[in-house]
Amino acid sequence: MTIISETNGDVWIHRERDQLWWTVSKADAPEIIEEIEPNSLQASPRVYVCHKPCEPWANHNKKGNRLEWKTLHSKAKEFLFTEGTLQKLGDDHAEYALAMIAGTDLTPWYDRPTWRAKAAAARSGSLSLYTMRGSEQLSRWL
């Protein structure tokens, strides 16, 4: 909850089925709400939800092109996918994600030998989320 409540000006990326969504967190204070989780198997089904203000979520880049999971490079899918709720990207991957959101040329990454190899493997078939609640909030169930 600390990570979300203290974020300010950070880009957040979320995959929802075949769409890729992104937002930027605001400096505004979060709202923390205690809720009852009706499907909980715990003796105490209470959870705390942190709602952090952010810019409206978008599923298109800054040039208006939709961001769809199936159109991402196989290497990008590798580091943008996470089974955990939160993941911080390394510097190079973060630069790629920001370029993707900006709608700028991604060729500098695609021309790299490791990216080419990953794409070739994906074509040959040899390759084997933080939640979004509401349109203008980052949320984390605890």
**In the numeric block, which tokens belong to residue 15?**
């995959």
Q: Angle CA(108)–CA(112)–CA(116) in degrees, nearest 5?
A: 115
pLDDT higher than 60, residue 70: yes
Task: Find the range with the poorest average confidence among 66-70, 77-81, 112-116.
Answer: 77-81
Q: Which residue has the higher pLDDT, 132 or 53?
A: 53
Write down the pLDDT at residue 139.
45
134 Rama class: left (phi>0) / alpha (psi -120 to 50) / beta:
left
- Look at the pTM and tell me if it is higher than 0.75: yes
**CA pseudo-torsion sign 62, 21, 142, 82:** negative
Q: Could you read off the pLDDT of 10-37 as tens digits, one per residue? A: 999 999 889 999 999 999 999 999 988 8
Average pLDDT over residues 109-120: 93
